[in-house]
Amino acid sequence: MSENSENPTMPQSPEQPAAPAPAAPQRTAEQPEAPGPSQTAARRTAEQAAAQERAARMHARGLRMFPDGTGPSPDPAGSHFERRIRSFQPRRSRVTTGQAEALKKWWPTRGLDIDGQRVLDLGEMFGGLPVVLEIGFGMGEATAQMAADDPATGILAVDVHTPGQGNLLGLAERNGLSNVRVANGDAIILLREMLAPDSLAGLRVYFPDPWPKARHHKRRLVQPEFLSLAASRLAPGAVLHCATDWENYAEQMLEVLTAHPDFENTQKDGGYAPRPAFRPLTRFEGQGLDKGHAVHDLLFRRVPHAG
């Protein structure tokens, strides 16, 4: 069984498949048996350098999803090749005709490859609107709904899932949403390399991959290190909003957020928050509710800078 199939919440498109989306090549090289710590470190460094080279080559060649050189890049920052622990699983998924058309039409103006090469000017991208980052929008229905409900806020929506990127671009087009941009790649690289300190008016992480097996918990997105990075990109007073239907992930989120010095709970009792009216029900939330899961929202405020 692949790790992908062990993650029960990967998005599925309801539409019929039409074309294969790009997928990262599978690693096939055999690993040496029981390498020592220095061998392991050296191998990692070499692999990371190779991944960066591959990404730079793809970038330089302008490799894109469509043969005419348009659409998102298959792996803009080489993140799929990296050995570091990632919160997502690269997967081969199919893009429908409608999604492909939306990608072709809108990627040049509303899409963004996370190449880690420059710091974004969010003011220019969103015409001066305050900008909220949503990590892991899946098929994007909830994102489109929030963008329609609040046109005075820009949403920078990031995911690695190509069909979802096409779906969200199509929804934005059909609903006349000018306040959504779709980012392709690893949110960690986006936060670390491409967003300026204090630049975000909010951060939304709705139903992140739960990685339910204990041995996969290290892949969960919401961890202390992620919170430190997120805090550095959030403006003081901006809210980090997480939601999950996995009880022990909710407990983990509450524990690490409560312990983090850069965040304070918006709930006076120090617990979970009621679902705010602005958050629509999401696709994965619906699946969780069907299984009888309880849903927890967590809203934590970025505290003002010390000193």
How far CA 18 is from CA of 94, 127, 128, 173, 210, in Å, comes to 7, 35, 38, 20, 29
Residue closer to ligand SAM (CB basis): 160 or 203: 160
Please check whether residue 224 is in contact with residue 260, taking contact to mean a CB–CB distance below 8 angstroms: yes
* Alpha helix positions (H), 64-209: 97-110, 122-125, 141-149, 162-174, 187-189
From 137, 249, 272, 300, residue interacting with ligand SAM (rule: CB under 6 A): 137
Q: Residue 282, interface with ligand SAM (CB under 6 A)?
A: yes
Residue closer to ligand SAM (CB basis): 68 or 290: 290
Q: Residue 263, interface with ligand SAM (CB under 6 A)?
A: no
Annotated catalytic residue, options 75, 113, 115, 209? 209
**Is 101 annotated as belonging to a binding site?**
no
Please check whether residue 238 is in contact with residue 301, taking contact to mean a CB–CB distance below 8 angstroms: yes
**Is 284 annotated as belonging to a binding site?**
yes
**Active site (annotated) includes residue 209:** yes
Burial profile 4-35: b = 16 or more Cβ within 10 angstroms, e = fewer: eeebebebebebeeeeebbebeeeeeeeeeee
From 82, 113, 115, 285, residue interacting with ligand SAM (rule: CB under 6 A): 285
| Cβ-based neighbours of 6, under 8 Å, separated by 6 or more | 213, 216
Q: Residue 299, interface with ligand SAM (CB under 6 A)?
A: no
Q: Residue 138, interface with ligand SAM (CB under 6 A)?
A: yes
**Residue written as token pair 């090549």:** 25
From 81, 107, 207, 246, residue interacting with ligand SAM (rule: CB under 6 A): 207
Q: Identify which of 112, 25, 33, 22 has the alpha carbon closest to the alpha carbon of residue 67.
A: 22
Distance CA 217, CA 210 (A): 8
Specify the DSSP class assigned to residue 193.
Answer: I
Token representation of residue 20? 């294969």
From 206, 211, 249, 300, residue interacting with ligand SAM (rule: CB under 6 A): 206
Q: Residue 188, interface with ligand SAM (CB under 6 A)?
A: yes
Q: Residue 9, interface with ligand SAM (CB under 6 A)?
A: yes
What is the DSSP code string of 15-54?
SPP-EEPP-PPPP-PPPPSS--HHHHHHHHHHHHHHHHHH
- Of 40-48, 95-103, 202-210, 268-276: span binding ligand SAM (CB under 6 A): 202-210
Residue closer to ligand SAM (CB basis): 11 or 154: 11
For residue 144, the minimal CB distance to ligand SAM (Å) is 12
**Is 213 annotated as belonging to a binding site?**
yes
Q: Residue 187, interface with ligand SAM (CB under 6 A)?
A: yes
Q: Residue 221, interface with ligand SAM (CB under 6 A)?
A: yes
**Is 282 annotated as belonging to a binding site?**
yes
| Cβ-based neighbours of 62, under 8 Å, separated by 6 or more | 69
For residue 128, the minimal CB distance to ligand SAM (Å) is 26
- Of 29-37, 40-48, 120-128, 279-287: span binding ligand SAM (CB under 6 A): 279-287
How far CA 165 is from CA of 32, 112, 181, in Å, comes to 38, 10, 10
Please tell me the count of residues contacting ligand SAM according to CB under 6 A.
Answer: 25
Which amino acids are annotated as binding site for substrate, given as ranges? 213, 245, 282-285
Which amino acids are annotated as binding site, given as ranges? 134, 159, 186, 209, 213, 245, 282-285
Which residues of this protein are in contact with ligand SAM, per CB under 6 A? 9, 11, 87-88, 135-138, 158-161, 164, 186-188, 206-209, 221, 282-285
Q: Which residues have a catalytic role annotated?
A: 209
